[in-house]
Structure formats: C-alpha cells, structure tokens
Structure 1
C-alpha cells in the first residue's frame, strides 16, 4: 500500500512537472541562467526553455553612474554588484557585450586594486570575464566621458570626471535565431598591420592582406574603430572602405581599449593593439549616420540633422544608436547638457543610444554619394576581373527612401579607380551619430519592393 501511494504521488508530481501550462508560467519568471539549468532536466523542459528564450527581448542596455559621489564615498563593491546582477540575472544570455567606461571610473578601480594589494584584477576585464559565458565576446572602451541609456530609455551624456559605465548586451538567442542574419566580429590590428592597410590604399593594391581574409567573407555593414589618442592615418579607413565594399565606418580616439573574441582571445591597448573594434555583419543589418560638425551649436541645427537620419526610415523594432562625440562638445558648445542625445530621443523614442566623448572622431554621413557600389568586381587574388565561377556584384541593393543601401560582397574589393574621392573620415569637435537596425530577415523589403520605393 505504501509503495502504491508513493507511486501515485510520484506520478502526480511528474504529471504536474510536465504540464505545459504550468511549466510555461514558471519559466516566464526565470532568468537566462535558471532557464539553462532547467533545460537539462528533460526533453519537455528543454523544449519549453528554448521556446521561452525565443519569446524574450533580444537586447538589454543600461548605464551605471556614481552620481557625483566623492571618491571616498564610492562603494565599488556595491556598484559592481549592481552591474553583475544586471548581466547575470537578466532574461537573456549575452552573446556580445559593448561597454563604455569613463576614465575616472577606470582609474578609481585601479586605486582600489593598489590599496587592497590583491592578485585578482580590480579592472573591468578582471571583473567582467569571470561572470560571462566563455563564448561571449565583449568590447571595453575607456574614454573621458560616456553616453548611456537606462532601462526606461532615459539617455544621459556623462561628460568628464564622472564615475560612469554604459553597456548594451545582445542575446545569444538573437545571434542564433533563424530570422536574423547577424554577427558581431571583434578585431584588433597591430601597428605593422595598420601600416599594411595604409600601403594598400597608397599603392592602389587589389590584393587584401592575409589578416583581412576572414572579414572579407562576411557581409560587413558597419565597422567601429577605436584608436589611440595619437591617432591613425585616414588611409587606414579608406582601405577598409575598399576591402569591405564600403561599409559605414565610425568610432574615435580613446584612452584604452580591450576586447575578447568568441575563442576567448584577449587583445588590450598598445603596443599589442593599435586599432581595435568590432564589425556588425549580416544580411538583416541596415545602417545610417550623420555628422554634427564643429560649426553646429544650436538645438535647431541638431534637430535638422537628426531628422535627416530618421528620414532613412530604418526599422526600429531591433535598433540601437551609437554616438561618438568630441570631448570639446556637449556642455562646452550648448552650455547645457544632453542636447544632442535628447534630440535623438525625441525622434527615436524606443532606440537606446550609447557611446563616448573622445579625443577625435571617425565617420561620415552615410549612405554617401562618395561611396559607390562597385559596378565591376575585382578579385582579391589580384586578377582585376570577376571570378568566372562567381557572379559579379549586383547593383540592385536595398533602398530606403531613394537611398541605396550599400552591401558587402565576399571575395572582392572595390577598385582604386572606383573610390578616387572618398569622404573625409577623421574629424575634430564633431559628433558622429549612427543608427543601426537589426531587423529580422522576414521584415526586410524584397528587391522588388526596394526598387518600387525609389520610383
């Protein structure tokens, strides 16, 4: 009788555990780590955990500020606990993290390390690496000031001497989801490799250097470049334009940079890494940008430029903005804070915006008439002609309100004669404002629809 009762109890318990409605309700309350644990229990739970992940948001963002605390009042442990909780206890499992940190915060973490005299690192890399999945890549950039958006879509420009950090996380489920064609590719180039890039442009070569071959096989839509304060030659950016079929290039001069790729390889600041950054790749990615130049000093002028960015009509359901501003702008130009970011928020109410105040800016207005889609492919092996086994690049690309969306094509570079007058990429006292749409493939316009929108 006791055995029968135990059997009946176990049967009832298993029946409850495998009740789809009950499991769904429970799983909605779990964070990503808890879902992964439950997925190992049985096939039913594994399937329901997968479904629950697919229903969730694909991106998360926030910023963390010390709110003008004096250095002695800043509780680093409490601050890091809130950052770690945001990453670990959230609804998504991170696949790529972009993080901007103020130099004041970075220096303060270093002071804590020296005072405690502990072997474990107190810098951001030492704090971040242990809490992330091993295959999660990340990019950490340290500058004088940062721009961040909180989880309620309030955006702040946190300029010099602020203890602040902003980040955006892209879910692993988004990067693996069949309706998205999306990849974030961190990269790092040494001084010698930058010299090769410089020579590629200056010599008009059609043969890409070996270290670029991996990226040549990806559909690169945007390249984010983070360079030392000493700067880079403009020709490096022009080489990227030719090699990668004219993607959007943006970024700036920063105090330090550090990245970890999917394989776990870490690249830090000079001398090992002259230029670091990440590429946004994939068929579903659409991008645009505007320059807020040094002469712009009124909210009305900013409004006009940001409206031109909105006029590209990029899908905003899965979008984010990047703002690369000069440390001499912000309150120094407008005599009050948050002018440029507040105008962006007005026109893009559901799009998070983050970035930094640096010591030099990289970018251009994009799309641009100065960046033609190549009409004749040039094989990277240097033949000067299209590979007969492959079709030449198509000239019909996605269009938004009459603007042709530039696409990359693997195995080819743009000929030197086709990019004689590229746009200026290096600036001072400027803001580069970028919009990146990660719309799903199913929501993208077809070629016929794109052509119809231009007629």
Structure 2
C-alpha cells in the first residue's frame, strides 16, 4: 500500500480549462467531499495529483477511524494461504490506512502440510515460508503498519462484510483473518514481543505493560509454551498484569510471525501481543469453563458479557478456545459458541482461534471502574473458552 507522496508534476501542471477543472483544482471543500468516496489505496494515488489534493486526502484519512477486517476461507487457487490473496483484493476497497494489522491463520495450510494445489517438490522449510509470508504482507500493507501474524490450529472469524454476518468456527480447513486498526483519536495500539532474553522490567515499561495508567486491554499469545522454562517465563509476565486493572485475553498458539525477531534463537518460546491504551477503551470478558458443555449453558455464560453494558458500536469480540472444545465438546454440534455470541451481540464481529491453552478471566474494564480478582495462575486455563468484548471508543 502506497504512502502519501509529493504531487505529480505532470498532473499538477494540467490546465484547468473548464469550470469542473477549476473547481477540482482550487475548491478544497469539493475535492475533500469527493475523496471521501474513494477507497484508501486509490486515495493515496489521488494525493499525488496536487498539493491541494494531498492536503484533502490527509484530512479524509484522519476521519477514517473505524476498525475493519478481511477474512477468507476455502481453498486458495495460488501457492499461498487463502487469506493473502483475499487481502490483495480486499485492500483495494478498504476505507482506512492501517497502522496495526493482527492476522490469524490456520497452521495446517499456512505451513503447507496439505493442499494438492501446492507443488510438494518445491516446498521450502517452514522458516522460509514464514519469511515469504511476512515479505508478502509488508508489500501489501503500508510501511508504517505494525504486523503481527498468529499461526494456530483453528480459526474463528466473521466473513468480510457487515458485522451482522454470522461468525464461523473453523477447526479444520483453510481459514484466516486480518484485523486492520487505523489511527484512532484517544486510542493507542502497540505490538510487543518478549523472549527469555528480552523480558525484564525495563522492557515491560517500554512496551506499555507496566507504568501505563492508560492501559486498558492486553491481547497476549504465547508460542512454544510446551518447552522447558516456558511456564516460569509466562508467569513472570502475567504476575504484574494480574495485579493491574486491565482486560487480559489470549492463549497459546503454535507460532507467531513478527517483523523483528533478532533477540531470540530459532525454536525458542516467547510471547507476543498488543496493548490497547486510551481513556475511551472499554472491555469485558467471561470464561466458559470445562463444565459449560451445552448451548444453553454457553448462552447463560456469554449473557454475562451483555450485563457488563459495554457499548456495541465500534466494538470487536474475541473468542480464544481450546482445541478440545468446538463440536467435539458440544456433542458434535458445530459453531455453538460463535452462534451464541452472535445471538446476543448480532452487530459485533467475532474473531479468534482454537489453541493450546487459554489466558483470561471474568473481568470488566469501564472508565474508572474495574471488576476482577485473580492472580497469574487464575489467568491460565485448559479446556475453556475466553470470550471478550473490546470497545474502541
């Protein structure tokens, strides 16, 4: 995706030989109004026409503060994950300039283990595939966009389009989504990454996880958590968060693809995530424990989110579930938890994954009010689902 650049000398020297040409060359109010109907990638190209158009484009971009998303499922026609192709097409029609992109893709097809459309003899090692995918994402997204890609066994997504579309659980098959966060007044979203070599008090403060009075939500994902030392490492990170008045949600995934990873050795464990800070952010989460095993019980638990009275406009739902749940947990009934969430919150899009462990608890974060009492051990679970709402103001 292009950045705002200097005006095109050829375009700016074009003669204004008509009334329409004069207006489009001189009347900022008209140009700005027209540019509000132009998708962002085309808008960035239009900004090269003249200095007037560039300034109008900048003002239009500042008004595009709603989170958006692209999602995909099925079989790709190309030698890459289906989400990457969907992003190439979908970004042409988006009305925002993303500063942060959170992607989640299924591990089976992202790693290229299956799929007859891939040339098996030409397969590369997984590290090279991940590097190729990140290079592709860097070409698709703006240079200034922070990219965090999570690879996990199963995916929960809302199809691209309106929030009222029913979300889907994919425990098998190729699926993925990308949440696109633009600049938003009163909201700051920052990625973080820690391994055993980089986790210390200073790095926690730099990431905004400690000493940050505006911190409201932490999305946190551990990778290679089965390795020796990973549990102690994660506790060291969760202890200060458990004592804070913030919403914590996430889980354990197979791997994380990030832009900078120079501090840790290949194959080592670590944690990645996003911090969401700002006075306008609100959130709530509930834990569906192992005993919640029927649609009725799931609805009773998820309705507690409704009781938190989180605004539903400009809000996103997150579902982080154990791979042992899904239809295996609900007597072979599919999409139970996603359908239940949609029944209660029909206008809120839902995203997440099926992973190898869950992080979160019952918690409400609203303005100066927080409801939660738990320690670091109380944030880690198995055979559960963490269901959350995050309101972006």
TM-score, scaled relative to structure 2: 0.81
The 8 Å contact of residues 267 and 273 in structure 1, kept in 2 or not, is answered as no
User: Pairwise CA RMSD of aligned residues?
Assistant: 3.3
Distance 1:186 1:21 in 2: 37
State the partner residue of 2:89. 85
State the partner residue of 1:411. none
Q: Which has the higher Rg, Structure 1 or Structure 2?
A: 1
State the partner residue of 1:258. 257
State the partner residue of 1:380. none
Q: Does 1:189 find its partner at 2:189?
A: no
State the partner residue of 2:141. 132
Distance 1:78 1:187 in 2: 25
Runs of 5+ consecutive residues of structure 2 not aligned to the other structure: 1-13
The CA deviation string for residues 390-447 of structure 1, in whole angstroms up to 9 with x for no partner, is xxxxxxx836xxxx2379xxxxxxxxxxx896661111110001110011xxxxxxxx
TM-score, scaled relative to structure 1: 0.70
Distance 1:102 1:40 in 2: 39
State the partner residue of 1:45. 53
State the partner residue of 1:310. 306
Q: What is the correspondence of 1:13-412 to structure 2 with a 5 Å cutoff?
A: 13-19=21-27, 23-24=31-32, 26-56=34-64, 58-66=66-74, 69=75, 74-76=77-79, 79=82, 80-108=84-112, 112=118, 115-116=121-122, 122-123=129-130, 124-150=133-159, 151-152=161-162, 153-160=165-172, 162-172=173-183, 174=184, 180-193=185-198, 209-214=201-206, 215=208, 216-218=210-212, 219-227=214-222, 228-230=224-226, 232-233=231-232, 235-241=235-241, 245-260=244-259, 271=267, 274-334=270-330, 335-367=332-364, 398=367, 404-405=369-370
The CA deviation string for residues 113-165 of structure 1, in whole angstroms up to 9 with x for no partner, is 874478996543132122221110021110110101112333100003x1111
Shift of 1:55: 4.3
Query: How many residues are aligned here?
Result: 362
The 8 Å contact of residues 144 and 255 in structure 1, kept in 2 or not, is answered as yes
The CA deviation string for residues 354-375 of structure 1, in whole angstroms up to 9 with x for no partner, is 111001111111139xxxxxxx
Aligned in 2, Cα 1:256/1:268: closer, same or farther, shift over 3 Å?
farther
Shift of 1:48: 3.0
State the partner residue of 1:435. 389
Aligned in 2, Cα 1:298/1:117: closer, same or farther, shift over 3 Å?
closer
Distance 1:118 1:327 in 2: 27
Distance 1:76 1:268 in 2: 29
Aligned in 2, Cα 1:84/1:429: closer, same or farther, shift over 3 Å?
same
